[in-house]
Amino acid sequence: MRKRIVAGNWKMNLTLEEGQKLTSEITNMVNDELNEEITVVINPPFPHMQAVKKLIDGSKNIFLGAQNCSDKASGAFTGEVSATILASFGASYVIIGHSERREYFNETNEQLTEKVKLALSNNLTPIFCCGEPLEIREAGTHEAYVTEQLTKALFGFSAEEMQRLVLAYEPIWAIGTGRTASSDQAQEMHAAIRNHFAAKYGDSLAAGLSILYGGSCKPDNAQDLFSKPDVDGGLIGGASLKSRDFVDIIKSF
């Protein structure tokens, strides 16, 4: 069975103290309330990662992730954080290609490919994001747009490498807007993404890929979204900043 994953992306929010409080609450609730095998990933800002790691150590379901990594291995790149550094303090996952990184920091497909390579070589699991802007959705060309993003950034990887990735479909018009994709829209795109990987890497590899949905996922719509056969979990922004909401989403399978 595919891994079911719920990952919280805190973005540039929360002081260290607030982040520690949130992590403790999430950890306690997950340990007390979660009976199913769901992988939970917390992706705090870089400076909080070590403190978060200490608090989640001992929980079998919860893992540490980063929101980004450099496309360079090491060296004179002031302000950047490498995949090697992330791995050295216990990260297991790293979000790569979030639409905010693509849009505000002009990240290109070539850079994203480099980031995925470095993440994999440091034994980090990339959570690779894709998704279309509103005008593409309205033009009806969203499937071609998203599959092209994936082809350009990822189709150079071997099957052995590709099976170590997690994908996240995040329609840009749904991120932080309160306007979520319907569960049918999510299912349609997740199935298209899986078919796209099946055509390149075979059915068996595609069937094993976890594909998360992201975009205004909340406790009141998570159950509907997660009930779809090709939706294997969620990448959660705003609702991951509230422990009760985040854990309710985790429990929505």
Determine which one of 100, 107, 114, 170 is catalytic: 170
48 assigned to active site: no
Q: Among candidates 6, 43, 58, 201, which has minimal Cα distance to 124?
A: 43
Please report how close the Cβ of residue 155 comes to ligand PEP at its closest, in angstroms: 23
Residue nearest to ligand PEP (CB): 237
Please report how close the Cβ of residue 9 comes to ligand PEP at its closest, in angstroms: 5
- The answer to whether the beta carbons of residues 116 and 106 sit under 8 Å apart is no
User: How many whole angstroms separate alpha carbon 167 and alpha carbon 228?
Assistant: 16
Distance from CA of residue 226 to its chain's centroid?
Answer: 15
Nearer to ligand PEP, 13 or 84 (CB): 13
Distance from CA of residue 173 to its chain's centroid?
Answer: 17
User: How many whole angstroms separate alpha carbon 64 and alpha carbon 50?
Assistant: 9
Give all strands (DSSP E) within the chain, no chain letters.
Answer: 5-9, 39-43, 62-66, 93-96, 125-130, 166-169, 211-214, 233-236
103 assigned to active site: no
Nearer to ligand PEP, 5 or 201 (CB): 5
Which residues contact ligand PEP by CB under 6 A? 9, 170, 175-176, 214-217, 235-239
Determine which one of 48, 98, 142, 190 is catalytic: 98
Please report how close the Cβ of residue 170 comes to ligand PEP at its closest, in angstroms: 5
Nearer to ligand PEP, 11 or 72 (CB): 11
Nearer to ligand PEP, 91 or 237 (CB): 237
Active-site residue list: 98, 170
